[in-house]
Every structure is written in C-alpha cells, then in structure tokens.
Amino acid sequence: MVHTPARPPEGAPPIRINLYSDTQTLPTPAMKDAMMRAPMGDEQAGMDPTVHELCDRMAALMGKEAAVFMPSGTMCNVAATLTHCRPGEEILAHETAHILTSEGGAHAALGGVQILALRGARGMFSPDELRAHLRGISRHSPPQRMVEVEQTANIGGGAVWPKPVLDEIAGIAKENGLVTHMDGARLMNACVAAGIAPARMTAGWDSVWLDFTKGLGAPLGAVLCGSAEFIDAAWRWKQRLGGSMRQAGICAAACLFSLDHHVERLADDHANAKALARGLRQIPGVVVEEPDTNLVFFDPSGAGVTGAELVRRARMEGVLLSVLGGRVRACTHLDVTAAMVEDALGMLRAAVARG
C-alpha cells in the first residue's frame, strides 16, 4: 500500500500544461503583492484583522451569521461533521461524495459516524432517493443526523446541482429533523455557471464552506460558514485538529484577492473546458462527458488506449492529467489558457493515434 504521493516517471519533462487539478494554480504576482501588504496578527488569539475581514465577508456572501478560516476544505468538512454529529450517528451523502471517497475515513475515524451512500447520476442523488433511505427511529439503526451535498459534484463530472433540487432536498431534511451541510469546494464555479448568487445557492443549508485553493487560485485556505453557535463549536474542533494558525492574514489576503479578481473569470475556465470537450469528442473512440463547469471527464478505451496509459503518455509530453472515478479527468483553471487547450488536444490526438 502506497501512502506517499507518486513521483514523476523517470525521464519525464517539466510540466508545461497542468490539467491535473485546479489545486495546481499558482498565486499571481498581484495576489502575492496583496499577501505581502496584508495586516497580520495572531489568528489563534483573534488578533489578525485580515482573517476577520475574510470571515466577515464570507459570512455575508453565504448569507450566514459567522465564519471560520481553516487551512483546508477537508478540515472544513471534518470540523463540520464533528460539530453536527455524535458517534454512532449517520450522514446521508452521494456514494461519490468527497467525505466518503477522499478524506481518509476521517469521519469514521475521528467522529465515529457512518455515511449512508446514496445513488444518482453525475454525483447527485434525487429527492426521491433521499426519501427512500430515510427511516424512523429504532434501537437497531443508527440515528440519521445529517444530509450532505457536494456543489459542484467532482466525480460526477463537475456537475452543478440545480437550485430547485437543492431546495427540495434541504426541505426534506428539515421535515425529518436533519441538519444540512454543503461541501462547497467549487461552489463559485457552480454559482457562475448557474448565474445564482452564493447566498441564494446556499439558502436552506446549515453549514457551507468555500475552498480558495481551486479555481480561485489562492495557495491555502477555506472558510466554513454557519450560525454563530455552530461556528463557535467548530472553532473547538479547529483547535483540536491543529487548524489554529498564527499570522494567517498573509493567506487570508490571497483569499480576499481571489474574491475580488478571480470569481467572474471562472467563466473562462468553463469555456476552455467546453472547448477541450469538443476537441476530445472529435477523436474517434473517445467518449466525453459534457462539462457543466471546469472538469472534463473522458474515456479513451474505445480508441484502444487505457486511461492510465494515456495519462502516462501525456506526462511524457509535459501534459499532466489524472484518473478519477475510472475516467481520465482534465481540469481547466486560471493557469490554463485557450492556446494551451489546443496544444493539449494536439498532443492527445497523437497519443491516442499511437494505439
């Protein structure tokens, strides 16, 4: 079992087009300048003014009472479930949700909770699927405590949950005494694609967080939002998990910069993703999922090459891709231009043609 990240294959050239993930983005020169100019203090002691500015702004943006700055989105998810749930309780989430597939079993290991996997196309379960898995109180079953969604749905192809579906799911949860939590890792991608303001998108959800290290391009940080009482309790878990920081304003400034400069431009990433999907679809045998946002999933096996082999060939040409959920994933972001998309398509056509 390998627990450490894999190194590049021997002889691999430097990466020139990074489609691996939007987490690969680098701070822009202007963002670095904002970071260097940020007022700072001891965040753990409540003395960092830039962190306070970020949290106040995020609470208002999400339509919540309060917010807390965390080092990562995973810590936001873990702190949220530890705050909402007690050992032995159950969370209802999609079978491909990040909390179930990509957080090292943290919610079971640290919180003693189990996750009931719901099914549905493109990483989204339906209101009927949720209703079908709700059960009454019984000493034989774990108490159901929380409903969770991931906006956008990563393994679902970067799919955007429709707002009416989110509203119906949140309503069902409330009718049954359950709390609601939204994993908003790429929430701003969803908001830009759907043309819906964040506070409206998250209405009806008790807690939500936004990751700044993906499409928004910051080097570190996520912000968890909710009621004042919830955030006060989440702070204790932040402390327990080692998430309290010192002069965190240097990172909070990058997050503030991204809110000012990197939200509207997410539409460029979405356009580049659609262009990439169109080009891939022209390669015989390659099956491509139409992207909602900045994630393009495709299967090249019909062209006679496995996804893993195509990723290897691409890496040897300086193009970085990933395999996720059994398909190849290409992710567009602020460090990927339209010209890079065309360059990557040319390389992929040649790689597939080799059979």
Angle between helices 73-84 and 228-240 (to 10 degrees): 110
Residue 111 lies in a domain: yes
Judge if 131 and 220 occupy the same domain.
yes
Average pLDDT, the chain: 96
Residue 20 lies in a domain: no
Structural domain boundaries enclosing 327: 265-353
H or E, element range at 317 = none
Judge if 249 and 284 occupy the same domain.
no
Judge if 244 and 276 occupy the same domain.
no
Give the pLDDT score at 2.
59
Residue 1 lies in a domain: no
CATH number of the domain that 179 lies in?
3.40.640.10
Residue 12 lies in a domain: no
Rg, C-alpha atoms of the chain: 21
Judge if 278 and 192 occupy the same domain.
no
Residue 177 lies in a domain: yes
Residue 11 lies in a domain: no
Q: Check pLDDT > 60 for residue 259.
A: yes
Question: Count of H helices and E strands in the chain?
Answer: 14, 13
Judge if 100 and 144 occupy the same domain.
yes
d(CA 212, CA 219): 8
Judge if 290 and 325 occupy the same domain.
yes
Judge if 151 and 94 occupy the same domain.
yes
Q: What is the pLDDT of residues 142-153, one digit of tens each?
A: 999 999 999 999
Judge if 183 and 329 occupy the same domain.
no
Judge if 39 and 170 occupy the same domain.
yes
Q: Check pLDDT > 60 for residue 59.
A: yes
- Of 260, 286, 317, the one marking the end of a domain is 260
Q: What is the pLDDT of residues 81-107, one digit of tens each?
A: 999 999 999 999 999 999 999 999 999
Closest of 199, 197, 219, 235 to residue 76, by C-alpha: 235
Q: What is the pLDDT of residues 153-188, one digit of tens each?
A: 999 999 999 999 999 999 999 999 999 999 999 999
Q: What is the pLDDT of residues 215-244, one digit of tens each?
A: 999 999 999 999 999 999 999 999 999 999
Judge if 249 and 137 occupy the same domain.
yes
CATH number of the domain that 335 lies in?
3.90.1150.10
d(CA 19, CA 315): 10
- Of 223, 245, 260, the one marking the end of a domain is 260
Helical segments of 41-181, H only: 49-62, 73-84, 98-101, 106-111, 127-132, 163-175
Judge if 244 and 331 occupy the same domain.
no
Judge if 245 and 168 occupy the same domain.
yes
Residue 146 phi/psi, 5-degree rounding, is -145, 145
Domain count across the chain: 2
Q: What is the pTM of this model?
A: 0.96
Residue 153 lies in a domain: yes
- Of 260, 290, 305, the one marking the end of a domain is 260
